């Protein structure tokens, strides 16, 4: 349950940042597919990311979804022999990265929102 709650907060902060960079609702709805669908592939949701080429590995490190998925895998596979083959980072590292990303996304998203609303 805490992992799901953390992932929801992270998704909300990421959405806040993305939505405040666009002025049109229609453009925002269209761009979300181009932002989230590639994350499914570079975050390891569909295919394993242990053998990614270097350029996709760099993209994967910048994907917020990677850390959410790895944290969920860490919780699911805790105490099993497959843990070391499935989980990339420790849960503490994933939580720290997600916390840092959450703070950055919230601060930037709120700053963009305030700037856009005051310039109306």
Given the structure tokens 């996304």, which residue do they identify?
Answer: 105
Global pTM value: 0.83
Per the structure block, which two tokens stand in for 94?
């994933």
Domain boundaries, the chain: 2-118
**At 21, phi and psi to the nearest 5?**
-90, -10
Nearest-angstrom CA–CA distance, 9 and 12: 5
Residue 50: per-residue pLDDT: 81
Give residue-wise pLDDT tens across range 40-71.
888 888 877 888 888 888 988 888 889 999 99
pLDDT surpassing 90 at residue 99 = yes
Alpha carbons within 13 angstroms on the beta-carbon side of residue 83 total: 12
What is the per-residue burial (b if ≥16 Cβ within 10 Å, else e) of 66-83?
A: bbbbbbbbbeeeeeeeee
């Amino acid at each position: 349950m805490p992992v799901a709650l953390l992932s929801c907060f992270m998704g909300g902060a990421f959405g806040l940042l993305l939505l405040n960079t666009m002025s049109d609702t229609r453009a925002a709805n269209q761009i979300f597919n181009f932002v989230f669908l590639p994350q499914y592939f570079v975050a390891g949701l569909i295919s394993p990311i242990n053998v990614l080429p270097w350029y996709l590995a760099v993209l994967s490190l910048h994907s917020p979804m990677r850390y959410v998925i790895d944290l969920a895998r860490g919780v699911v596979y805790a105490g099993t022999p497959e843990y070391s083959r499935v989980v990339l980072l420790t849960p503490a590292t994933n939580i720290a990265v997600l916390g840092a990303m959450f703070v950055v996304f919230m601060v930037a998203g709120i700053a963009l929102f305030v700037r856009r609303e005051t310039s109306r």
